[in-house]
């Protein structure tokens, strides 16, 4: 609700800025250039894409992108949360550079440099459709239509460029795709290159599937992840979180077990989501969930049986939501193919971060631990870029802006923190490619109670410092302990590794000019 109000109250003010920044410069000097179709989902994690992980579900259309192009196996975010990720992506800077630190207190300063603005200046048409989540209205786009805040799955509202709020009938993932295809087909100037950002609401909590997909995956059961009953020994920040499937997942809101005589913390919110449905949608919903609700309360599972029941329902709902997404990515690929645009277009698919599918017993993200810091990144390359298969270099979401700019022939501004991925897409293996990534998460105290932390990740090690109301370091050897269960910090065998990682961490904090830095001297005391 907070998001909604803020977007509305800023709407009038920002409309002026939007008009001003939409004025295109240097329109005439555009050569034949590459288009960019940048599809991003919310909370879609690589475990739930068959091109990354075959354990759970099939995503044939996403797999088409990877099979025809490249798959980044070491792709990470800089701050594992929606708004901050989006700000990192459009500015090419870490949160300390773009000043959008968290979802709850920040409003994006839309006057700052972003890659869509720079593309516009170079004569590109830019469009953004779907989730935006940066609180101020978009700048740097010739066309946009965004969701207020997180948006809704059913019959959602959109804020249009005229600063109207309109409601559309249907399921969110289909509607965003309809609008994107409509823009490419009917609204853009076909003589100009374009950059289209299709930013989905799905797969965000509370994972509400389209009615046509409700019956899917019900015959599947999945083994609990091996770390599901993690006891968090040696990791006090992990103990303090509130994102456990067992403890924190809401029976009604997350798991849809609505019954008039039952109550839960988020029941009212769930009812408000159901209240958006029309009669037919609601009837299909109740037809599907009715028998499951009846069976659940009759059997009244407890303990480990209940934990397993919750996990299975979570997985199935999430997968159904992914199914719509995968189908709609297929629609975009088919459109581009049919119109002969594929040869000249870079198609990017990614998410705003990763997500826990029961690893450590969790849902949500935020932590610098692997499932959350890692984000899927696959690309279908335009003609002339011959790289195929896996790219294993360490890359981060601050790199997308420089990549798009270099592809468009625009000079990458020196103050961007990210680096262009174009050499990798051309098949080069630059000897001086980065060997460490910086991460910083700020949203605390807040929902899910993940404490503030920063850290460094190399290909082999991860060093994390949790700070603010805690002062704890963690070190993981990702080669020996990929599940990050054994905090090695403080073990004398690793002293020299810690010293070296701390030196590199401080170098990165200085390079990115992060005002929150650890003090090496104090730490030696």
Smallest separation (angstroms) from Ca ion to the CB of 321: 13
Q: Which stretch binds ligand SGN (CB under 6 A): 31-39, 49-57, 200-208, 498-506?
A: 200-208
**From the CB of residue 129, how many other CB atoms can be counted at a distance below 10 Å?**
26
Nearer to Ca ion, 43 or 142 (CB): 43
Query: Is 82 among the residues that bind ligand SGN (CB under 6 A)?
Result: yes
User: What is the C-alpha separation between 9 and 406, in angstroms, rounded?
Assistant: 36
Buried b / exposed e over 494-511, threshold 16 CB at 10 Å, is: beebbeebbebbbebbee
Smallest separation (angstroms) from Ca ion to the CB of 208: 15
Nearer to Ca ion, 161 or 351 (CB): 351
- Summarize as ranges the residues that interact with Ca ion (CB under 5 A): 42-43, 82, 352
User: What is the C-alpha separation between 339 and 37, in angstroms, rounded?
Assistant: 14
Query: Is 43 among the residues that bind ligand SGN (CB under 6 A)?
Result: yes
Q: Which stretch binds ligand SGN (CB under 6 A): 33-41, 167-175, 202-210, 212-220?
A: 202-210
The binding track of 228-267 with respect to ligand SGN, each residue x by CB under 6 A or -, is --------------------------------------x-
Report the DSSP pairing between strands 461-466 and 472-477: antiparallel
User: What is the C-alpha separation between 355 and 204, in angstroms, rounded?
Assistant: 10
163 in the Ramachandran plot: left (φ > 0), alpha (ψ -120 to 50) or beta?
left
Q: Write the burial class of residue 280 (CB in 10 Å: 0-12 exposed, 13-18 middle, 19+ buried).
A: exposed
The binding track of 91-110 with respect to ligand SGN, each residue x by CB under 6 A or -, is ------------x-------
Alpha carbon separation from 204 to 153, 221, 317, 443, 455 (Å, rounded): 9, 22, 11, 18, 26
Query: Is 206 among the residues that bind ligand SGN (CB under 6 A)?
Result: yes
Smallest separation (angstroms) from ligand SGN to the CB of 176: 16
Partners of residue 454 on adjacent β-strands = 440, 465
Token pair belonging to 370: 């692997």
Q: Helices marked H in 23-128 — which ranges? A: 60-68, 82-91, 95-98, 115-121
Q: Which stretch binds ligand SGN (CB under 6 A): 199-207, 374-382, 395-403, 467-475?
A: 199-207
Out of Ca ion, ligand SGN, none, which partner does residue 205 contact, by CB within 5 to 8 A per kind? Answer: ligand SGN
Smallest separation (angstroms) from ligand SGN to the CB of 449: 11
Smallest separation (angstroms) from ligand SGN to the CB of 81: 4
Out of Ca ion, ligand SGN, none, which partner does residue 364 contact, by CB within 5 to 8 A per kind? Answer: ligand SGN
Q: Which stretch binds ligand SGN (CB under 6 A): 161-169, 191-199, 203-211, 504-512?
A: 203-211
User: What is the C-alpha separation between 455 and 94, in angstroms, rounded?
Assistant: 13
Q: Taking a C-beta distance cutoff of 8 angstroms, is the pair 78, 453 a contact?
A: no
Smallest separation (angstroms) from ligand SGN to the CB of 206: 6
Out of Ca ion, ligand SGN, none, which partner does residue 447 contact, by CB within 5 to 8 A per kind? Answer: ligand SGN
Out of Ca ion, ligand SGN, none, which partner does residue 370 contact, by CB within 5 to 8 A per kind? Answer: none
Identified binder of ligand SGN from the candidate list 22, 37, 40, 42, rule CB under 6 A: 42
User: What is the C-alpha separation between 281 and 287, in angstroms, rounded?
Assistant: 10
Q: In 19-105, where do the E strands start and end?
A: 35-41, 70-72, 75-76
Smallest separation (angstroms) from ligand SGN to the CB of 447: 5
What is the footprint of ligand SGN within residues 340-379 (CB under 6 A)? 364
What is the footprint of ligand SGN within residues 135-154 (CB under 6 A)? 150
Token pair belonging to 281: 């949608």
Nearer to Ca ion, 188 or 366 (CB): 366
The binding track of 389-428 with respect to ligand SGN, each residue x by CB under 6 A or -, is ----------------------------------------
The sheet carrying 143-146 orders its strands as 165-167, 157-160, 143-146, 125-130, 194-199, 35-41, 345-351, 377-380, 70-72, 389-391
Smallest separation (angstroms) from Ca ion to the CB of 205: 9
> How far is C-alpha 377 from the geometric centre of its chain's CA atoms?
10
Q: Which residue ranges make up the site for ligand SGN (CB under 6 A)?
A: 42-43, 81-82, 103, 150, 204-206, 266, 364, 447-448
């Amino acid at each position: 609700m907070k998001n909604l109000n803020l977007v509305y109250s800023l709407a009038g003010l920002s409309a002026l800025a939007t008009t001003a920044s939409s004025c295109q410069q240097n329109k005439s000097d555009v050569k034949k250039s590459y288009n960019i179709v940048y599809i991003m989902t919310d909370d879609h994690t690589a475990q739930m894409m068959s091109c990354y992980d075959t354990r759970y579900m099939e995503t044939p259309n996403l797999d088409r992108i990877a099979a025809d192009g490249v798959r980044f196996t070491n792709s990470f975010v800089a701050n594992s949360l929606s708004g901050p990720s989006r700000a990192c992506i459009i500015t090419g800077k870490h949160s300390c550079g773009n000043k959008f630190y968290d979802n709850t207190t920040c409003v994006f300063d839309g006057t700052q440099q972003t890659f869509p603005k720079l593309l516009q200046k170079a004569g590109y048409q830019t469009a953004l459709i779907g989730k935006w989540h940066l609180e101020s209205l978009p700048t740097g786009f010739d066309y946009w239509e965004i969701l207020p805040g997180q948006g809704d799955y059913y019959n959602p509202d959109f804020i249009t460029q005229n600063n109207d709020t309109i409601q559309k009938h249907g399921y969110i993932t289909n509607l965003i795709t309809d609008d994107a295809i409509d823009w490419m087909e009917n609204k853009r100037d076909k003589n100009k290159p374009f950059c289209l950002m299709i930013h989905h609401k799905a797969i965000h909590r509370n994972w509400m599937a389209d009615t046509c997909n409700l019956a899917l995956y019900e015959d599947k059961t999945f083994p609990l992840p091996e770390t599901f009953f993690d006891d968090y020994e040696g990791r006090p920040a992990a103990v303090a979180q509130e994102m456990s499937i067992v403890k924190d997942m809401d029976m009604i809101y997350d798991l849809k077990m609505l019954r008039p005589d039952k109550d839960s913390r988020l029941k009212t919110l769930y009812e408000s989501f159901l209240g958006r449905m029309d009669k037919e949608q609601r009837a299909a919903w109740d037809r599907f969930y009715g028998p499951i609700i009846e069976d659940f309360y009759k059997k009244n599972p407890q303990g480990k049986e209940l934990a397993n029941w919750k996990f299975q329902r979570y997985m199935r709902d999430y997968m159904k939501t992914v199914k719509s997404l995968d189908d709609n990515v297929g629609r975009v690929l088919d459109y581009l193919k049919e119109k002969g645009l594929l040869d000249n277009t870079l198609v990017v698919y990614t998410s705003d971060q990763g997500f826990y599918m029961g690893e450590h017993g969790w849902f949500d993200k935020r932590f610098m631990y692997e499932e959350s810091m890692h984000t899927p990144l696959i690309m279908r390359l335009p003609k002339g870029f011959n790289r195929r298969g896996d790219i294993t270099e360490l890359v981060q979401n601050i790199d997308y802006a420089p990549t798009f700019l270099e592809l468009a022939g625009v000079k990458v501004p020196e103050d961007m923190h990210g680096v262009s991925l174009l050499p990798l897409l051309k098949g080069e293996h630059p000897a001086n490619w980065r060997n460490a990534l910086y991460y910083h998460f700020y949203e605390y105290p807040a929902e899910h109670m993940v404490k503030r932390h920063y850290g460094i990740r190399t290909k082999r090690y991860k060093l994390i410092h949790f700070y603010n109301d805690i002062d704890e370091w963690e070190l993981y050897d990702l080669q020996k302990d990929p599940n990050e269960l054994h905090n090695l910090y403080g073990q004398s065998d690793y002293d020299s590794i810690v010293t070296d990682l701390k030196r590199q961490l401080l170098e990165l904090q200085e390079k990115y000019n992060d005002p929150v830095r650890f003090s090496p001297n104090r730490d030696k005391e």
